[in-house]
Structures are given as C-alpha cells and as structure tokens.
Structure 1
Amino acid sequence: MDLTTITNENVRKAIEALQANDKKTWYTYFAKEVSFTDDGRPLDFKTFFDNAFNKKEKFLAIEKVEDGGKSIYGNFDAGQWGTFRVYFKFHQNTAGEFDRLAIGQAPL
C-alpha cells in the first residue's frame, strides 16, 4: 500500500507503525495525555490501541487524505469487528506530538 499520499510526515510514520504492528513506535508519536474518541465516544487511548495491536488491526487501503495529511480515510481490518471504511483524524500540538485522535466509521 502506498502511504506517500499521507503528506504529514508524523502521521505517515505513525500509520507505518500501525501497519507494521509496531506499537512501541506508534506510541512515540503521541503526547503523554491523548484525548481519544471512537465514533464520538471517549475511550482510553492506550487500552484501545493495545487491543488493536494484539489483534493486528490495520488499514487495507488508504482512499483519501485531507487536512494537510492529518485526516485519513480508508478500508480497515478491525479484527473481531470486521472490515469497513474508517477515518483517523490526528491533532498535532505545538511540540509536534499527537494529543488528540478521533477515529470512527466513515460514510460510504
């Protein structure tokens, strides 16, 4: 899969870590405190992604990139939940870390 369409370098590297099931590297791109929502519901970021990495969840295709490379849309293998179209919307703080991530099911 071509990730060069993700123009924000840190988002691209974080997604590369997700794709490689490298949770140690994934977490290095995030601030100590991360506001996280899934379909608008606030959840614990680390608990959610520890589970996602245990299930080897990942993008199957990137369909669209917006917001300066910080909003990613595509087909996603969500393990026990199946495969569907999702969005990942990253918010980057002034230090360059991600302090907010919103994910969810994207409309078709």
Structure 2
Amino acid sequence: MKKSIIFTIAICLFSFTACGQQNSSSNNKTKKTQQKDNNMDTSKLTNNIVKEVFEAWQKGDGQTFLSYFIADAKLYDDGNPRDFKKFVKDACGHERFTTVDKVENDGKDIYGNFHTESWGDFRTYFKFHFDADGKISRLDIGQAN
C-alpha cells in the first residue's frame, strides 16, 4: 500500500515538473522570437518615411501603415495588381521581415527575408513609390532572387 501511494505521488510530481518545463520552453521560444524581431537591424533603412512605414508593418499596426499611403494606393504583387487594403488587413500583423539585407533607390526599395504564416520563409522586396506630396502612392511587393 505504501509503495502504491509513493508511486502515485512520484507520478504527480513528475507530471508537474514536465508541464512546468514545457511551458518554460514555450515561453523562452516566444521571448527569443520577440527579441529577434525587436532587435532587427534597421540601420540600412535610410529613408525616414520608409523606416516609419516599415516599423508600423513590423509591429502589425495596419492603421499607422495605411496612414502613409494615398487613399487609392496601388499594390502590385510580382507585377500583378492586388487589392491594397485587403492585403494590409489580411497580412499586417501576420507577415513580417526577419532581416533587411539590402536597400536601394534612395532608401525606397527594401530586400530581405520575410516570414508568412501561409507560405513560410522566403526572400522578398517592398518597393515604395511616392507622389509629389510625399505620400506613398504605390507599393510593389514580390519574391526576390
């Protein structure tokens, strides 16, 4: 009888320890992912407006992201027109750059690694086009080579 009680207590203690380890591991992974995203090197982003737009995208702040664009901004995905507002609604907060590798065109073209929940990880570009008033009128996105 004593052995049965000791065995039951041992199993309970082992279960609590295992659960604690699993949660701790999961929390550490989440913290590392957040840390990695928050510590991304954005020093290559030289255009101040593009940098602010980029940071809004990375934070998942679609409202701030959209505020930099004209009302009827155009979106082209690998050269194909897409619904810009639907794209922002669906993707912002779920998709993000994981690295910024190259910036061109006076800081308006960003190339880097990108993560999506649907398609996984791949190299991509965001190319921002400005109108005469300094608002973004077009965004070209696509898979980079």
Q: TM-score range by the shorter chain?
A: over 0.9
**2:115 match:** 77
Aligned pairs for 1:57-72 within 5 A: 57-72=95-110
**1:100 match:** 138
Q: Which runs of no fewer than 5 residues in structure 1 stay unpaired?
A: none
Identity of aligned residues (%): 46
Give the deviation of 1:46 after TM superposition: 0.4
**2:90 match:** 51
TM-score w.r.t. the length of structure 1 is: 0.94
Give the deviation of 1:68 after TM superposition: 0.3
Kindly report structure 1 stretches of 4+ aligned residues shifted beyond 3 Å: none
Higher mean C-alpha deviation, range 62-71 or range 78-87: 78-87
Decide which structure has greater strand share: 1
Structure with more contact order per residue of length (Cα contacts < 8 Å, sep ≥ 6): 1
Output the CA distance in 2 between the equivalents of 1:45 and 1:3: 24
Output the CA distance in 2 between the equivalents of 1:53 and 1:9: 20
Secondary structure at the residue paired with 2:98? strand
**2:46 match:** 7
Secondary structure at the residue paired with 1:69? coil
**2:57 match:** 18
Decide which structure has greater helix share: 2
CA contact (8 A) 1:4 1:12 kept: no
Among 69, 73, 80, which residue is 1:41 paired with? Answer: 80
Tell me the matched-pair count: 106
CA contact (8 A) 1:11 1:90 kept: yes
Give the deviation of 1:75 after TM superposition: 0.2
TM-score w.r.t. the length of structure 2 is: 0.71
Give the deviation of 1:94 after TM superposition: 1.2
Please, what is the CA RMSD of the aligned residues?
Answer: 0.9
